[in-house]
Structure 1
Amino acid sequence: MKTTIAQVPAYEGQEVTIGVWLTNKRSSGKIAFLQLRDGTGFMQGVVAKNDVTEEVFQLAKNLNQESSMYITGTIVEDKRSPFGYEMQVKDIELIQEASDYPITPKEHGTEFLMDHRHLWLRSSRQHAVMKVRNEIIRATYEYFNNNGYVKVDAPILTGASAEGTTELFHTKYFDEDAYLSQSGQLYMEAAAMALGKVFSFGPTFRAEKSKTRRHLIEFWMIEPEMAFVDHDESLEIQEQYVSFVVQSVLQNCKLELQTLGRDTTKLETVQAPFPRISYDDAVQLLKEKGFDDIEWGEDFGAPHETAIAESFDKPVFITNYPADIKAFYMKPDPERPDVVLCADLIAPEGYGEVVGGSQRIDDPELMKQRYEEHDLSGPAYQWYLELRQYGSVPHSGFGLGLERTVAWITGVEHVRETIPFPRLLNRLYP
């Protein structure tokens, strides 16, 4: 019976064959312990000299790291293993004998590992991070599909910026200028006017020269947009969605979180509703915490967000930022036009903003005014203005950064480990 490591609990006491790679081994006298992986999981194979031919036993003792093989044996319960099962090996069919594998069980520097990212992905830690990433994506589709959203794909090549031109990658589109997308949001607004509730999930690009542990040049965004939904309703959707994703990971990725050494007690509290603090109160809170230099009207940096998050035991919404530091399309608070109906969701434990959202301007005249203030009167934005001219409605949306969310849920320090092949300021390889 050919199967996978992930499926072996269903075959306890039975003989199976699995295609695997060798991650590590040790042997003593008449027994060899093989650490095996097949992409679905990790498992130990025990080769006893008395249970196999001399040829198989010598092969097991001399295998090199990352050699590939078909391995056959009986599945038995092993309570000492986090996985819970191991294989009593009967036979090994070598596929390829690897040699001089560059990533050994010893410690390696970050740059070395990044240069070998195509191989580093095979490690148990990176495997666990990618499995959690996959579960976040799976849960995202489940949540939005179950709640009546339509997935719409936004273009990657655009004729203009969503929020400003200073952080865009420029290219030529035949005889026109084009840019790699910063966000699918504007297109999702158009889609929401056609389909009601929509979401996009795709790559976005920022050309800012940042080296922080929270930034990537290329990253993935989940961007829902909802017609006939106001700011407060949007906040409820955001907290329900984030709670659903976190609880899905806790339920379906127990072994991966254990592999990563994640303290899951801090994730178990992530259930809606989330606390909220206004920008005004956040500034006051920061001053009380010793940030004397922060002034009203300034945006918050990573230290500010971390300090605010430390005051709460769940993710926290910071609401109603000053209009001058937010995007042109955000709707002003009707009772206080100097702030906008927006919120950033700040994750606990120093992971910073994971969601940003707002109610969008739906008044055609106000949007025209914003166009003039931000010098957006060119033809590239005409279609976006027309959304307000033909049946404008209240609508809201938000964007969740996938890699930051993966970093927070897994507890890894740097977002470079949360995407298969990271693009950083000085890294385009592999």
Structure 2
Amino acid sequence: MQITINQAANYVDKEVKIGGWLSNKRSSGKIAFLQLRDGTGFMQGVVVKADVGEDIFQIAKSTSQETSLYVTGVIHEDTRSPFGYEMAVTGIEVISEAVDYPITPKEHGTEFLMDHRHLWLRSNRQHAIMKIRNEIIRATYEFFNQEGFLKIDPPILTGSAPEGTTELFHTKYFEEDAFLSQSGQLYMEAAAMAFGKVFSFGPTFRAEKSKTRRHLIEFWMIEPEMAFYKLEDSLKVQENYVAFLVAAVLKNCRLELDRLGRDVSHLEKMVAPFPRITYTEAIELLKKLGFDDIEWGDDFGAPHETAIADNFEKPVFITHYPKAIKPFYMPEDPNNSEVVLCADLIAPEGYGEIIGGSERIHELAILEARMKEFDLDLEAYSWYLDLARYGSVPHSGFGLGLERTVAWISGTEHVRETIPFPRLLNRLYP
């Protein structure tokens, strides 16, 4: 019977056949250990010369790294293995031999690995990170479906900038100017006015010339919008969602976390509610910590976010940022016109902002006035202003960056490892 590696537990003491690749091997005079992978997992195959004969043993010894093959053998429990099972090999059939595979078990530089990203994905570490990414995606759909959200897909090509910035990728849309989407938010607001609670999940693009370990040019965002939700209502959804993601990874990806050496004791603390501090309190905290260069009204950089987060065991919400440094669609705090009703969620351990969100302005006159302050073309945003013209309601939303979240939960230092084919400032290959 042909099975996959992740089904091994169901076939203990039975002879099975597995199609896969040889990721690594070692051998002595009379025994060979084959590290097998098939996409679902990694498992060791043990080839004993006395049991298989000279022909099969020579195939095991001579087969090169990443050669594809069918391996037949009996599954046994193996308490020494993190996977828990191994195969006593009885037969090997080579499908396609790999010659001079470039990524060997030795150390390679980052640029070399990035040039060979299409092959690097096969490695044990990258497999674990992608499995965790997939679990976060799966859990995202589960969470929002059970909370009564409808998935809506906003366009990738747009005629305007949701954030009102110039950091956009320009293209021609026949005779018109168009941009790659930096956020689906405005379209999700329209969807919320139709369906109440909605979320999107798709690619976004930022033409930021940044080389930090937190930035990608193309990344994926989860963007919910909720009608009749105030800021505090939204914060509760956010913390419950993030806690749900962490719990799902802890439950379903423990082997992958172990493979990455992730200290799960940090993740086990990620239960709602999360702490909240205001922007003003955050400035005061930074001053106490010796950051004399930052003043009220400045935006936070990576060192500031890390220093703030280090004071909390869980992700921390920073709320009520200055109006001057936030986008046009965020409403003023009724109690302080200098700040807006918004929050960023900062992950622990130096991973920075993983969520940005706010209430949205829903009064037409206020929205038009703010857009004029930002020197935006009201004609281009006419459809968005229609939302305020025709029965708008108080509403809130947020965006979670998938890759930063994967990096934090998996304990991966750089986001370039958290997406299959990263797009960086100087990298469009492969």
Q: Same fold (TM over 0.5)?
A: yes
The aligned amino acid for 1:68 is S
Residue in structure 1 matched with residue 429 of structure 2 by the alignment = 429
* Residue 186 of structure 1 pairs with residue 154 of structure 2: no
Aligned residues, how many? 430
**Counterpart contact for 2:155–2:181, Cα < 8 Å:** yes
CA drift at 1:244: 0.2
The aligned amino acid for 1:189 is E
Question: Once the two structures are superposed, what CA deviation does each residue of 1:174-209 show, in whole Å capped at 9, x if it has no partner?
Answer: 010000000000000000000110000000000010
Question: In the superposition, relative to structure 1, how do residues 377 and 97 fare at CA in structure 2: closer, same or farther (>3 Å)?
Answer: closer
Question: Once the two structures are superposed, what CA deviation does each residue of 1:151-190 show, in whole Å capped at 9, x if it has no partner?
Answer: 0001000001111232000000001000000000000000
Residue in structure 1 matched with residue 315 of structure 2 by the alignment = 315
Residue in structure 2 matched with residue 336 of structure 1 by the alignment = 336
What does 1:25-424 correspond to in 2, within 5 Å?
25-424=25-424
CA drift at 1:379: 2.2
The aligned amino acid for 2:46 is V
**Counterpart contact for 2:357–2:399, Cα < 8 Å:** yes
Query: Percent identity of the aligned residues?
Result: 73
Residues 22-31 or 48-57, more deviating: 48-57
**Counterpart contact for 2:316–2:345, Cα < 8 Å:** yes
Residue in structure 2 matched with residue 13 of structure 1 by the alignment = 13
**Counterpart contact for 2:164–2:328, Cα < 8 Å:** no
CA drift at 1:83: 0.2
The aligned amino acid for 2:404 is R
Residues 372-381 or 218-227, more deviating: 372-381
C-alpha distance in structure 2 between counterparts of 1:349 and 1:398, whole Å: 22
CA drift at 1:55: 1.2
SS in structure 2 of the partner of residue 388 of structure 1: helix
C-alpha distance in structure 1 between counterparts of 2:294 and 2:39, whole Å: 48
C-alpha distance in structure 1 between counterparts of 2:267 and 2:165, whole Å: 37
Residue in structure 1 matched with residue 22 of structure 2 by the alignment = 22
The aligned amino acid for 1:57 is F
**Counterpart contact for 2:43–2:86, Cα < 8 Å:** yes
C-alpha distance in structure 2 between counterparts of 1:240 and 1:27, whole Å: 50
Question: Once the two structures are superposed, what CA deviation does each residue of 1:226-248 show, in whole Å capped at 9, x if it has no partner?
Answer: 00111000000000000000010
SS in structure 1 of the partner of residue 272 of structure 2: coil
C-alpha distance in structure 2 between counterparts of 1:404 and 1:142, whole Å: 20
C-alpha distance in structure 2 between counterparts of 1:32 and 1:15, whole Å: 19
Question: Once the two structures are superposed, what CA deviation does each residue of 1:24-55 show, in whole Å capped at 9, x if it has no partner?
Answer: 11111111100000000000000011211321
C-alpha distance in structure 2 between counterparts of 1:332 and 1:220, whole Å: 29
C-alpha distance in structure 1 between counterparts of 2:391 and 2:378, whole Å: 22
Residues 158-167 or 307-316, more deviating: 158-167
Residues 19-28 or 47-56, more deviating: 47-56
C-alpha distance in structure 2 between counterparts of 1:26 and 1:241, whole Å: 44
CA drift at 1:377: 3.1
C-alpha distance in structure 2 between counterparts of 1:358 and 1:372, whole Å: 20
Question: Once the two structures are superposed, what CA deviation does each residue of 1:357-388 show, in whole Å capped at 9, x if it has no partner?
Answer: 00000111100101211122342211111100
The aligned amino acid for 1:338 is E
SS in structure 1 of the partner of residue 389 of structure 2: coil
C-alpha distance in structure 2 between counterparts of 1:79 and 1:260, whole Å: 19
The aligned amino acid for 1:61 is K
CA drift at 1:298: 0.6
C-alpha distance in structure 1 between counterparts of 2:372 and 2:355, whole Å: 28
Structure 2: gaps (5+ residues): none
The aligned amino acid for 1:312 is F
SS in structure 2 of the partner of residue 404 of structure 1: helix
The aligned amino acid for 1:46 is V
CA drift at 1:308: 0.3
C-alpha distance in structure 2 between counterparts of 1:50 and 1:194, whole Å: 71
CA drift at 1:19: 0.4
SS in structure 2 of the partner of residue 135 of structure 1: helix
C-alpha distance in structure 2 between counterparts of 1:365 and 1:26, whole Å: 72
